[in-house]
Amino acid sequence: MEYFERVADQMLRDRLEAFGAVLIEGPKWTGKTTTAEQQAKSVLKMQDPDMAANYLVTAETKPSLLLKGDQPRLIDEWQDAPVIWDAVRTAVDNAGGKPGQYILTGSNTVDESKIKHTGTGRISRMRMLPMSLWESHESTGEVSIHELFDNPNYDIDGARGKLDIPELIRAACRGGWPAALQLSKKAATMIAKNYFNSVCDKDISSVDKTQRNPKVARQILRSYARNISTFAKKTSILADVTASEEIDISMDTLDDYIGALEKLFVIQDVEAWCPAIRNKSALRSAPKRGFCDPSIAVAALNVSAEGLETQLKTFGFIFEQMCIRDLKAYTADFDSRVSHYHDRYGLEADWVLHLDDERYALIECKLGSKEIEEGAGHLNEIHRLIREKNLKEKQVPLREPDLKIIITGGPIAYKRKDGVFVIPLAALKP
């Protein structure tokens, strides 16, 4: 199959030039191993059915034997034998910290108690997500998020997106799974459904070798899907899950299942941004519910692309998840993080994109053109409150937003007179 260049390719190259080892982590089926193989010179796959038992025995007796091979050496699904982490760290030290020795990949977080050393300075961590629209060749890439931050004179007017609303819906249903890109439309949607079933039937228990009920896992993911991009409380999710007569679980059990899904990188909630521009009691601090990829929500809801075409309000929430997935991919080399802003007066920014140098963007996601004016109003009002606060409290000023962006499902990019950028999702690139 054709290899599609990933944002992670350059990130991996940069880290291999600076660190002895690199850990690529993230949800399964996102292409971590394939991306690593583009630069690895030897490969050891811990889950090779013919060799897995032997590898585990070797890891228990003399893990350094598994590290022998041309470098960079890829060790895939290393978390099956956590001792490999310390073996890699020791090997890097013994080689004087020489960069580019090992690549580790893993689809779930490991029990940190089984690791003796953090690996700081030796092992660099990087996160991979499902493919963005630019990586899947569905975005024109006419607007660069890096240029928006770095070039104050960047002209986006007239840049065009590649997908209309029905095409965006189909891209969301298919998801950013590399295996789906070269399949027929019908076959491609089966990848996300299979992912959903695999998580519920197998991964939810294998992640930490704790038996869990697939029916409960399904109900939790369906509740998350119904509450995607909202601030649903855990009590509401629990009530949703236990509405079925077949399921009766406690809040502690719900927390256990959610924790397992987070270890698998399936659930990815977004925390609140709470700047001191309102009374604390006015701010909503609840996390925003979400997944690593919008297709998981579609699969959990068991809805088709045709069905979503008549449920554009529902797709609006799913569209938000597409936006955050792509924004995270495009700014991963900035060590970015994402939060949300929402207060009790209805003022909001769907996403706040923070870079590691303190620059940030206020972002609203609006599927249709009719909502753009409202979104711009929200972003400008937050900006006004920050300026107002800084005038009153000059000793500790808040940084003003570097960008105000509305990401849309529309066709054309432009900059408004109030400074807000309006950009089609299918026109963005790193």
Q: How many CB atoms lie within 10 A of CB 417?
A: 5
Beta strand 421-424 with 414-415 is antiparallel
Q: How far apart are CA 146 and CA 80, in angstroms?
A: 37
Q: What 3-state DSSP class applies to 178?
A: helix
What is the residue-level pLDDT of the chain in tens, covering all 430 positions?
789 999 999 999 999 999 999 999 999 999 999 999 999 999 999 999 999 999 999 999 999 999 999 999 999 998 888 899 999 999 999 999 899 999 999 876 666 666 666 677 789 999 999 999 999 999 999 999 999 999 999 999 999 999 999 999 999 999 999 999 888 888 888 999 999 999 999 999 998 889 999 999 999 999 999 999 999 999 999 999 999 778 999 999 999 999 999 999 999 999 999 888 877 767 778 899 999 999 999 999 999 999 999 999 999 999 999 999 999 999 998 889 999 999 888 899 999 999 999 999 999 999 988 899 999 999 999 999 999 989 888 788 899 999 999 999 999 999 999 999 999 999 999 9
Q: How far apart are CA 428 and CA 356, in angstroms?
A: 21
Q: How far apart are CA 37 and CA 113, in angstroms?
A: 29
Any residues with CB less than 8 A from the CB of 21 and at least 6 apart, and which? 88, 89, 92, 101, 102, 103, 104, 119, 122, 123, 124
pLDDT for 230 equals 94
411 backbone dihedrals φ, ψ, rounded to 5°: -95, -25
Q: What 3-state DSSP class applies to 109?
A: coil
Any residues with CB less than 8 A from the CB of 132 and at least 6 apart, and which? 7, 139, 176, 325, 326, 329, 330
Are residues 38 and 3 in contact, defined by beta-carbon separation less than 8 angstroms?
yes
Q: What is the DSSP string of 308-353?
A: HHT-HHHHHHHHHHHHHHHHHHHTGGGT-EEEEEEBTTS-EEEEEE
pLDDT for 182 equals 84
Cis peptide before 424 (omega within 30 of 0): no
User: Which tokens in the block code for residue 20?
Assistant: 């002895």
Degrees to nearest 5, angle at CA 249 with 248 and 254:
145
pLDDT for 114 equals 64
